[in-house]
Amino acid sequence: MKKSILLTLSITLTLISGFAVSEERGIGGVESLRGTAELEATRVADPMKKVPRDQVDIESSYVFQPPLIPHHIRSYEVSLNANKCLSCHGWKNAKQMGATKISVTHFTNRNDEVLADVSPRRYFCLQCHVTQADAKPLVGNSFERVKSLQ
Amino acid sequence: MKWIINALKGFWTILRRPSKAAVGIVLFMGFAGGLIFWGAFNTGMEATNTEEFCSGCHAPIVAEIQETIHYANRSGVRAICSDCHVPHAWTDKIVRKVQASKELFAYFVTQTINTPEKFKERRAHLAEREWARLKKNDSLECRNCHNFDYMDFSEQSPRSVRQHSTALASGDNTCVDCHKGIAHKLPDMHKVDGWQ
């Protein structure tokens, strides 16, 4: 008797949980930034964002923020062989090209020693400096600049 | 051996003897023959201007252009290898094609760029040759499409206007002085003017 009750109970529980699982399979009806596409489905890609050719300088949001790149950089090579950014923003050419000079902080190595040229750890510009596309923020936020930069 | 000499002798006799055919027919045959030869020659030369032909030896470098603006763009205009590396005017084209036969020798006999490693090592040399060629002919192949007189500075970005209205307009610089590596990856640029 005890055994059969246990058996019935376990079968009922298994069935219920089975239903529950089948109800909540995949995204379980929860909409996210990914939309309502199921996990196993490939969602249609969003259109690519376009980087404007030129835009007004984008102001910093916090102190020591790496300045953002206000122009497009398609096919600008930054590699062991060549650095297209430095051909305008390096100190040698910046004035003639009317470009912003790279900051003096880029000449120090990690021991705070000042070098004669750009420090290798600062060579790959795009690690910190990035372009901006005219994209709508994915989620709202209430970020404000620090007072000193407002 | 003897029959070859005899055949040549026979051919020479035909050439020496006045033709029995009418002058009109002889002229027509010469005209038609010339047409066929000329057509075949030019078609053959055009075949050496296709991307497939270039890829035969320069495969890695042909692949590089595919992500650049001259290959992939919104308006569907495309410049292929020969548009920039082979002059369009006929005499210049023949001169370049004859020079290229030396490059065939370098590829097949001395084998200077037949592996990606060798190619990488020689890349600076190849690039410098091409820059020198374009510098010498005032970037002729750029100007086949990009005409300075037709440039609308109001449509250009301020950065471009600053350069084009001064150095390019005065003729001090030519396109390739600034626009290096627009269709290819660059060689070591540390000693090149304007780079660092």
Q: Mutate which of A87, A91, A122, A125 to disrupt the B interface (most B C-beta within 10 Å)? A: A87
From the list A75, A82, A97, which residue is nearest B182 (CB)?
A75
Across the range B138-151, mean pLDDT stands at 94
Does residue A42 carry a pLDDT above 70?
A: yes
pLDDT-above-70 percentage for chain A: 83
Whether this prediction's pTM lies above 0.95 is answered by no
Q: Which residues of B touch A74 (CB under 8 A)?
A: 69
Q: Do A17 and A77 sit in the same domain of this protein?
A: no
Residue A64 has pLDDT above 70, yes or no: yes
**C-alpha triplet B135, A98, A60: angle, nearest 5°:** 135
Question: Domain range spanning residue B115?
Answer: 56-178
Is there a single domain that holds both residue A2 and residue A15?
yes
pLDDT category at B18 given cuts 50, 70, 90 is: confident
Q: Does B155 touch chain A (CB under 8 A)?
A: no
Domains in chain A, number: 2
Query: Residues A82, A108: one domain?
Result: yes
Q: Based on the fold, state whether residues A39 and A54 are members of the same structural domain.
A: no
Task: Identify the domain containing residue A31 by its residue range.
Answer: 1-45
Q: Grade residue B139 by pLDDT with cuts at 50, 70 and 90.
A: very high
- Please check whether residues A55 and A122 belong to one and the same domain: yes
Q: In this structure, are residues A53 and B155 in contact, taking their beta carbons and an 8 Å threshold?
A: no
Q: Is B159 an 8 Å CB contact of chain A?
A: yes
Question: A85 and A136 in one domain?
Answer: yes
Q: In terms of C-beta density within 10 A (0-12 exposed, 13-18 middle, 19 or more buried), how is residue A125 classed?
A: buried
Q: Is the pLDDT of residue A21 over 60?
A: no
Kindly list the residues from chain A whose CB atom is less than 8 angstroms away from the CB atom of residue B69: 74-75
**pLDDT beyond 60 at B47:** yes
- Whether pLDDT at B21 is above 90: no
B181 contacts in chain A (CB < 8 Å): 77, 82
* pLDDT, chain B, mean: 90
Helix (H, G, I), strand (E, B) or coil at A69: strand
Which pair of tokens denotes residue A92?
């040698």
Mean pLDDT of chain A: 85
Residue A19 clears pLDDT 80, i.e. is over it: no
Q: Is residue B193 pLDDT above 90, yes or no? A: no
Please determine, for residue A25, whether its predicted confidence score (pLDDT) is greater than 70.
no
How many residues comprise chain A? Answer: 150
Q: For residue A11, what pLDDT band results from cuts at 50, 70 and 90?
A: low
Of B157, B182, B185, the CB nearest to A54: B157
Chain B neighbors of A87, CB-CB under 8 A: 194-196
Say yes or no to pLDDT of B177 above 90: yes
B25 is a domain residue: no
Backbone torsions φ then ψ of B96, nearest 5 degrees: -65, -40
Please check whether residue B196 lies inside any domain of the structure. Answer: no
Share of chain A above pLDDT 90, in %: 39
Contact state of B69 with A75 under an 8 Å Cβ cutoff: yes
What pLDDT shows up at residue A26? 77
Residue A55 sits in the same domain as residue A23: no
How do residues A71-123 score in pLDDT, each as one tens digit? Answer: 989 989 999 999 999 999 999 989 988 899 999 999 999 999 999 999 999 99
Among A45, A60, A77, residue at a domain's last position: A45
Name which of A135, A113, A118 is nearest A83 in CA terms: A118
Shortest CB distance from B194 goes to which of A74, A81, A87? A87
Domain count within chain B = 1
| pLDDT tens for each residue of B64-105 | 999 899 999 999 999 999 999 999 888 989 999 998 888 888
- A98 with A143, same domain: the answer is yes
